[in-house]
Structure 1
Amino acid sequence: MTAAAPPAGGDVATVGAPPSDPPQDQAKINWTFLLLGFAGMVIGQFMAILDIQIVAASLPQIQAGIGASADEISWIQTAYLIPEVVMIPLSGYLSRLWGTQKVFLVSCSGFLLMSVATGLSNSIDMMIFFRALQGFVGGAMIPTVFAVAFTAFPPDKRITASIVMGLIVTLAPTVGPTLGGHLTEWLSWRWLFFINVVPGMLVLFLVGRYANFDKGDPSLKVGFDWWGLALMAVFLMSLQFVLEEGSKDDWFADDMILLLSVIAAITGPAFVWRSLAYRNPIVELRAFTNRNFMVGVVMTFTVGAALFGGTFLLPLFLARVRDYSPAEVGTTMIVSGLAMFATAPFAGRLVRKVDVRLLMFGGFMMAAWGMWDAHAVTTEWGFWQFAGVQAMRGSGVMIAMIASQQVTMSTLPPHMVKNASGLVNLFRNVGGAFGLAFLNTSLTTNTAIHMGELTSRISQTSTQMTDMLSGMQSMMASSINPEGAAMKAVYGILQRQATTLAFGDAFAMLAIGCAFAAFITLLAKPVKPQAGAPPMDAH
């Protein structure tokens, strides 16, 4: 395909006009159309990523509102994520077939309709159904923005676009639970979904009016790979289900988890074989032959684990150990967002002047340093103790993400960019899912181990233990069973300490993972900026 991106390669007088050949002079770029169209896509991307976590702090209210059980309510998040991972890589093919603008408009329209339907749901079955459709259709809004940043923008402006995307990808899951908690408190849980309508209408206007970046290629529908689509869908949905639900169901001890693991192990290689053998594959995997893309994907996977893992551990610790409210958790978590905002402009300047491999190394080491500091967490840690941890982690993840985007995408030939952007986003999401599954299992296992170690050190005949129990029995003399109440209180103290130690282990594991990734970055080839070069062909 040879159609060029109009805003980056020709002056657009009317949306929908056929694109002209890309000029060499950036002065002819219609920056108004380019920036407004890209801004609309970025807002849509923010909504799609935000909705993954916006329900996290409000699950009890949703559960009460629709009469769901504790097991059922967790599917409000799982139902969104499982179909989303299918659309993310598929969006690259659809963008080449229909054009980025059409795919984004259809995705955003469906996302808005499903948001309203989810908010109006009166049963858990209805909500899960519409939530799954919301995740599927909205998934296309995430990777298409990455493709536009590396096709519609001139090379010397792509770093700025990467900074904007980095902020969206890192901030959306961070502010999601906080925003959701406040919305539920001020209005009701239904507004977690209704809030998408107003910004969504703005997205439809901006993208429909200004984002005519490329044209589709209808010839791609000939020989559509239905077998490849089926294999990809079964593989990704099975894998996502196993990662999301495995830690809750004791992994392979559960028949469903075992069955889906076997299905994923079979359909995964079959999908890879089909993609490499078929003439018109759903996902072009040959991008992995590019060394920098391969290294960048590993980095993106690690960024996903560090980003979602850190965002998962800290709120959970504050709620479970410190009994913080959603508002208090949000106040504590804001440090990470502020650190990312403050770091982004400096990261953009450094990417232009310093070897991006060194920036990736430094960013991952900063994140590792922050996570390692948190391995010494105690039951008394709060806002100020976590401030330094979040600042280091937030700054490090931002630097590593912006640098890894340049390494991953900048050396690919233009015709691979759309498919590659879907793969990059897929690996970040899967990395996050792997990280959460690993951390969930680690917390459960290590809490039990530390509890056993703590109880083994305590002797019922020790003077200190006897005095503690006597004191607690005196304090609880008014209860029906003072001795039982005292033993329960001691157990609670030990359980809290064991949980804190398990969180320390989880933070340390994240630190080790980030440090390992830092050294992997050195395998990438140098990336030379092409300042002043013409923008890449959109296809």
Structure 2
Amino acid sequence: MSDTATHATHMAPPHEARASTADWIAVAAGGLGALMATLDISITNSALPQIQGEIGATGTEGTWISTGYLMSEIVMIPLAAWLTRVFGVRNFLLANSALFVAFSMMCGWSNSLGMMIAGRIGQGFTGGAMIPTGQTIIRTRLPLSQLPVGMTVFGLIVLLGPLLGPVVGGWLAENIGWKWCFFINLPVSIALVTLLVVGLKPDRPHWEAFLKADWPGIAGLAIGLSSLTVVLEEGQRERWFESQMIVTLTGVSLAGMALIALSQFTAKRPILRLSLMRNPRYASVIIIVTAVGAGIYGISYLLPQFLSLVAGYNALQSGSIMLFSGLPAFLMMPILPRLLGKVDFRMLVVSGLLLFTLSCMLDISLTAQSVGHDFMASQLIRGAAQVLAMMPLNQASMAAVAREDSADAAGLYNMARNLGGSMGLAIIGTLIERRETFHAAVLREAVSANSLIGQERIATSAAGWYERTGDMAYSQMRALGQFAEQIQQQAMVMTFSETFWLLGIALALCVPLALLLKKPQPGATGSSAGH
């Protein structure tokens, strides 16, 4: 039996009918760690202007505050299973909690961009480990009968963390100070360490797993995924392959992927278990979660952008609209475990994907007068859709693999969700820029100087300005400028509508894959149940 299998057996005795108090404390620790990690992904978004002003960073440089976190997090997520085997779950999480606080304090005390980015990279490494490890704790500490409760709570945390981040960050920045976006992690980490000490038994390191590690795969993972994340996050701002940096990082990313592919054939136990993808049930989960990840991250980008650029909302106002999608999660919490235990996973995921598609289609009829309350219905439907799609996917990913493979499966699952988000944002960013330019050009051509409607609009506007200023040349200039802004705004609205439509179609195309999902059978154990 492998170290992982032995460890899993030790953590969840096969004859244990119900989880003990210590098991639930361990589960709470895993959930709290995941909440802290997911919250910190987006907590700086609302406070970014204040942070940039304090450390003297430009708008473009400030994007690295978020990119640094995502870059390191996506590398750590698939490494977590191996590091857990090496150091033991308790030792690994205790060390990560302490380091996460240290890097958070570093960010809060930063007075330069370099120091801030270094702190955020450290936060990403240590925070990224907490998400798959928390999922593994739930899978291995809870019996099958109680697994829906644990996975429901964990799934809600992963969904709500990114939604709460901008609101919490915006409130802290406005009322206390941006430094508290990072200092708030100190009391949370103290609580986390306490739960870990009480809920997890001491375990010894397995240094042979370190010495026999898949080092080519680890190197490929580190350079490949980190470079790919930077390419996806920064590509649009750098004009893609017009930038030497993007070209170089693309080459580095391909080299890293080649090392990962090589390790699949040469390593006894590859660091990234791509062999799990040979299981069609697990592969379907990964494809769906990648698409849903792109949808969730895409909406979290699209909606605030629309509210800011078109409706004139500030970050805190946009965040409050985003929170509407979290309301169904709270309302459904009492019935979710029962749904997951009794209803076919495939029906839940299909329902979630179709509702997600519907929510996107409700937003394709946007106008320049659309404001926050116009998104209320779509946000509520979207919130229910995310719950119905993501909750079963969490469990289906675990149900599709053997128990001893749960740590590797959790790492690949969470990596796919984040990578899907990065790819979605990259595609959406490129689409918005190019389609907005296209629509603006078409509109300008349609309302050229020969357009009677255009001339009438400009003349009316100029007359209004002339009444206020008495300067005809100035009034005509303001009228032309106002008309150009209206054209740009309409082009922007048309582009956002198209993007929502394409997101909806992409999610709808995943529906057939949901038919391949596998539901855990009550009372089944071991690999026979897919566990």
Q: TM-score range by the shorter chain?
A: over 0.9
Q: Please say if residues 46 and 316 of structure 2, whose CA atoms lie closer than 8 Å, have aligned partners that are also in contact.
A: no
- 3-state SS of paired residue (1:376): coil
Q: Secondary structure at the match of 2:73?
A: helix
Query: Within the alignment, does 1:493 sit opposite 2:486 as a pair?
Result: yes
SS in 2 for 1:375: coil
Give, in whole Å, the separation in 2 of the partners of 1:349 and 1:216. 38
Q: Deviations over 1:164-193 (max 9, x none)?
A: 111111111111111111100001111111
Query: Structure 2: how far apart are the matches of 1:89 and 1:510?
Result: 27
Partner of residue 419, structure 1: 408
Pairwise CA distance, 1:23: 4.9
Matched, 1:26 2:29: no
- Residue in structure 1 matched with residue 73 of structure 2 by the alignment: 84
Work out whether 1:513 is the aligned partner of 2:485. no
In structure 1, C-alpha distance between the alignment counterparts of 2:346 and 2:53, rounded to whole Å: 50
Which residue does 2:6 correspond to in 1? 3
Kindly provide the amino acid, as one letter, of the partner of residue 17 in structure 2. Q
In structure 1, the partner of 2:47 is 58
Structure 1 unmatched runs, 5+: 10-21
Q: Given the alignment of the two structures, is residue 409 of structure 1 paired with residue 403 of structure 2, yes or no? A: no
| Alpha-carbon contact 1:151-1:535 (below 8 Å) kept | no
| Equivalent in 347, 352, 370 of residue 363 of structure 1 | 352
Q: 3-state SS of the aligned residue for 2:47?
A: helix
Is 1:231 the counterpart of 2:220? The answer is yes
Deviation at 1:5, TM superposition (A): 5.4
Q: Secondary structure at the match of 1:224?
A: coil
Give the structure 1 partner of residue 476 of structure 2: 483
- Distance in 2 separating the partners of 1:271 and 1:327: 42
Partner of 1:430: 419
Query: What displacement does 1:209 show?
Result: 1.9
- How far apart are the structure 2 equivalents of 1:163 and 1:442? 34
Deviation at 1:54, TM superposition (A): 0.6
1:164 aligned to 131, 149, 153, which one? 153
1:408-456 superposed Cα distances (whole Å, 9 cap, x missing partner): 2113112211111111100000000011111111111111111111111
Tell me the secondary structure at the aligned position of residue 322 of structure 1. Answer: coil
Pick from 226, 237, 241: which aligns with 1:252? 241
2:316 to 327, 334, 344: 327
Select which of 256, 277, 280 maps to 1:288.
277
User: Which whole-Å CA distance do the structure 1 matches of 2:142 and 2:526 have between them?
Assistant: 9
Q: Which moved more, 1:235-244 or 1:66-75?
A: 66-75
Within 1, Cα distance between the matches of 2:39 and 2:259?
33
Q: Secondary structure at the match of 1:459?
A: coil
Contact 1:344 1:399 in 2 (8 A): no
Amino acid at match of 1:3: T
1:23–1:515 distance in 2 versus 1, CA, 3 Å: closer
Is 1:346 equivalent to 2:335 in the alignment? yes
- Which residue of structure 2 aligns with residue 306 of structure 1? 295
Unaligned runs of 5+ residues in structure 2 are: none
Deviations, residues 290-315 of structure 1 (Å, cap 9, x unaligned): 22111111111112111111111111
Bigger CA drift: 133-142 or 455-464? 455-464
Cα distance in structure 2, aligned partners of 1:176 and 1:271: 33
In the TM superposition, residue 214 of structure 1 has moved relative to its aligned partner by 6.5
Amino acid at match of 1:389: S
> For structure 1, which segment, 216-225 or 307-316, has the greater mean C-alpha deviation from structure 2 after superposition?
216-225
Report if the CA contact (8 A) 1:154-1:534 is conserved. no
The 3 A distance-change label for structure 1 pair 142 and 127 is same
User: Which has the higher mean CA deviation after the structures are superposed, 282-291 or 128-137?
Assistant: 282-291
Q: In 2, distance between residues paired with 1:275 and 1:534?
A: 25
The alpha-carbon distance between structure 1 residues 229 and 195, as it changes in their structure 2 partners (threshold 3 A), is same
* Alpha-carbon distance, 1:351 to partner: 2.1
| Maintained 8 Å contact 2:29/2:134 | no
Which residue number corresponds to residue 527 of structure 1? 519
2:251 equivalent among 259, 262, 276 = 262
3-state secondary structure, aligned to 1:26: coil
Name the counterpart of 1:37.
26
Q: 2:295, 2:424 within 8 Å by CA — same for their partners in 1?
A: yes
Q: Classify 1:214/1:309 alpha carbon distance in 2 versus 1 (closer, same or farther; 3 Å).
A: farther
Q: CA deviation at 1:128?
A: 1.0
Q: How far apart, in 2, do the equivalents of 1:7 and 1:285 lie? A: 26
SS at match of 1:379: coil
Given that 2:173 and 2:180 are in contact with CA atoms closer than 8 Å, whether structure 1 keeps it comes out as yes
- The superposition leaves residues 41-100 of structure 1 with CA deviations (integer Å, 9 ceiling, x where unpaired) of 211111111111111111111111111112211111011111111111001101112211
Separation in 1, partners of 2:436, 2:202? 52
Cα RMSD for the two superposed structures: 2.1
Q: How does 1:91-130 map to 2 (within 5 A)?
A: 91-130=80-119
**407-416 or 457-466, which moves further after superposition?**
457-466
Distance 1:56 1:139 in 2: 18
Partner Cα distance (1:437, 1:373) in 2: 23
Following superposition, the deviation at residue 206 of structure 1 comes to: 0.7
CA distance in 2, matches of 1:26, 1:139: 32
Q: 1:367 Cα deviation (Å)? A: 0.4
Q: Secondary structure at the match of 2:515?
A: helix
For 1:214 and 1:127, locate their aligned partners in 2 and report how far apart those are by CA, in whole Å. 34
Shift of 1:323: 0.6
Query: Structure 1 CA distance, aligned partners of 2:527 and 2:372?
Result: 45
CA–CA separation in structure 2 for the residues paired with 1:462 and 1:285: 59
2:133 aligned residue:
144
Alignment of 1:393-404 (within 5 A): 393-404=382-393
Contact kept, 8 Å, 1:348 with 1:402, in 2: the verdict is: no
471-480 or 507-516, larger mean C-alpha shift? 471-480
Could you report, residue by residue, the CA deviation over 1:103-150 in whole angstroms, capped at 9, with x for unpaired residues?
A: 111111111000001100111111111111111122111110111121
* Secondary structure of residue in 2 paired with 1:57: coil
2:460 to 460, 471, 477: 471
Q: Which amino acid aligns with 1:249?
A: E
Match of 1:201 among 182, 190, 193: 190
Which of 426, 429, 437 aligns to 1:448? It is 437
Of structures 1 and 2, the one with the larger relative CO (CA 8 A, separation 6+) is: 1
Kindly state the Cα deviation for residue 234 of structure 1 after the two structures are TM-superposed: 0.8
* Cα deviation 1:336-375 (Å, max 9, x = unaligned): 0102222344343222222211211111011011111111
